[in-house]
Structure 1
Amino acid sequence: MAQFNINTQYALGANEGSSQRTNNMFIILHETTNVGAANNAIYFKNNWSTTQTYVQYVIGDGGKIYQVGSDGYVAWGAGSYANANSPVQIELARTNDKATFQKDYETFVNFARYKAQQFGIPCTLDTGGKYDKGIKTHYWVSQNIWGSHIDPVQSYLYPKWGITQEQLAHDIAYGINGTSGGSTGGSSTKPSTPARNVVTVKNGPSTGIAGWNSKGEIVAGSNTTFVNGSSWQSAGIKIINGLPMYKVATDEYIPKKYTDQAGIITINAIKGIVAYDGNGNSISGTERTFTDFSKWQSPDSGVKVINGTIYFQVATNEYISAFYTIGGGNK
Structure 2
Amino acid sequence: MFNPNIINKTYTLGDYQGDTRLASNRFIILHESGNDNDKRDSQALLHEVQYMHNNYGSAYVQFFVGYMDGKAQVYQIGEPGYVSWGALTANPYAPVQIEFARTGDKQQFREAYRLYVEVARYYANAYGIPLTLDSGGNGIKTHQWVTNNFGGDHVDPYPYFAGMGITKSQLAYDLANGFDDEPEPEKKATINNVVTVTADYFKAFTTTNSKGVPHIGTDILSGTAWQSADILVRDKKAYFKIGNDTYIPQSVTDKAGKIVINYLDGYGVNAYNSKGQSIKDSNQVFKGGTSWATGEELFKVPNVGWCYQVSTDEYIPVKFQQGSGFKG
Q: Give the TM-score taking structure 1 as reference length.
A: 0.51
User: What's the CA shift string for 1:37-89, capped at 9, x where partnerless?
Assistant: 2111100111112xx20000000023200000000111000012x10000000
2: CA distance, partners of 1:102 / 1:166:
16
1:86 to 83, 91, 94: 94
Shift of 1:177: 2.4
1:57 aligns with 2:63: yes
2: CA distance, partners of 1:101 / 1:116:
22
Distance of aligned partners of 1:33 and 1:74 in 2 relative to their CA distance in 1, 3 Å threshold? same
Gaps of 5+ in 2: 39-43, 187-328
2: CA distance, partners of 1:162 / 1:150:
17
Aligned-partner SS, 1:63: strand
1:105 aligns with 2:108: no
Query: Which residue number in structure 1 is paired with residue 18 of structure 2?
Result: 17
Letter in 2 for 1:57: F
1:166 aligns with 2:172: no
Query: Which residue number in structure 2 is paired with residue 71 of structure 1?
Result: 80
1:143 to 148, 159, 168: 148
1:124 to 112, 126, 132: 132
2:48 to 40, 43, 50: 40
1: CA distance, partners of 2:64 / 2:113:
12
Aligned-partner SS, 2:51: helix
Shift of 1:178: 5.9
Letter in 2 for 1:100: Q
Gaps of 5+ in 1: 184-331
Count of residues in Structure 1 that have an aligned counterpart in Structure 2 = 174
Shift of 1:148: 1.1
2: CA distance, partners of 1:101 / 1:148:
25
Distance of aligned partners of 1:127 and 1:179 in 2 relative to their CA distance in 1, 3 Å threshold? farther
Contact 1:58 1:90 (8 Å CA) reproduced = yes
Query: Which residue number in structure 2 is paired with residue 134 of structure 1?
Result: 139
Distance of aligned partners of 1:108 and 1:18 in 2 relative to their CA distance in 1, 3 Å threshold? same
Shift of 1:98: 1.9
Distance of aligned partners of 1:73 and 1:40 in 2 relative to their CA distance in 1, 3 Å threshold? same
Aligned-partner SS, 2:56: helix
Letter in 2 for 1:158: A
Kindly report the root-mean-square deviation, in angstroms, between the aligned alpha carbons of the 2 structures: 1.8
Query: Which residue number in structure 2 is paired with residue 263 of structure 1?
Result: none
Moved >2 Å (runs of 4+) = 176-181
2: CA distance, partners of 1:20 / 1:98:
38
Letter in 2 for 1:3: N
User: What's the CA shift string for 1:3-29, capped at 9, x where partnerless?
Assistant: 130000011011111111100000000
Letter in 2 for 1:162: G
Distance of aligned partners of 1:19 and 1:180 in 2 relative to their CA distance in 1, 3 Å threshold? farther
Q: Give the TM-score taking structure 2 as reference length.
A: 0.51
Contact 1:116 1:135 (8 Å CA) reproduced = yes
Aligned-partner SS, 2:31: strand
Distance of aligned partners of 1:119 and 1:178 in 2 relative to their CA distance in 1, 3 Å threshold? farther
Contact 2:2 2:119 (8 Å CA) reproduced = no
Deviates more, 1:171-180 or 1:37-46: 171-180
2: CA distance, partners of 1:178 / 1:55:
29
Aligned-partner SS, 2:34: strand
2: CA distance, partners of 1:87 / 1:139:
18
1: CA distance, partners of 2:183 / 2:138:
18
Shift of 1:2: 4.1
User: What's the CA shift string for 1:186-227, capped at 9, x where partnerless?
Assistant: xxxxxxxxxxxxxxxxxxxxxxxxxxxxxxxxxxxxxxxxxx
Letter in 1 for 2:10: Q
